[in-house]
Amino acid sequence: MQQRAPTNKPNPQQPQDTIAAPALYKEIRASLTPSEFEDFASNVAAFNAGDQTAEQTVKNIGGIVRNKRLYACMTSLIYTALDESVTSNSKGKPAVAVDDSVPAGRRSDAA
């Protein structure tokens, strides 16, 4: 097994105020305007597609999600997805499964 070098990234294993991904997504949606939520969802989609790094996604959503608790939970979720994609040794891209009940292209319509 290959060891990874330590990073400055938050450790998703640290005890935090955690919340299930679908509930977190709904709380974030409720805290944002429709256009802010569209920006948020676009960033999550770009991360899931592999078009954006975890670091860039966290930086971008930091400018959108102003609630510090929700931002911390989402950051943890992003890095957990990244760690799971690395440790699973699969060739799949990391994915933040936030709300499977709403299709990716229609998430902003549900606000």
Segment 16-62, tens digit of pLDDT: 456 789 999 999 999 999 999 999 999 999 999 999 999 999 999 99
Amino acid at 18: T
Name the residue ranges covered by the structural domains of the chain. Answer: 21-98
The pTM of the full predicted model, rounded to 2 decimals, is 0.67
| CB-facing half-sphere around the CA of 30: CA atoms within 13 A | 7
Helices 68-87 and 21-31, interaxial angle, to 10°?
Answer: 140
The burial of 53, by beta-carbon neighbours within 10 Å (0-12 exposed, 13-18 middle, 19 or more buried), is given as middle
Average pLDDT over residues 71-94: 82
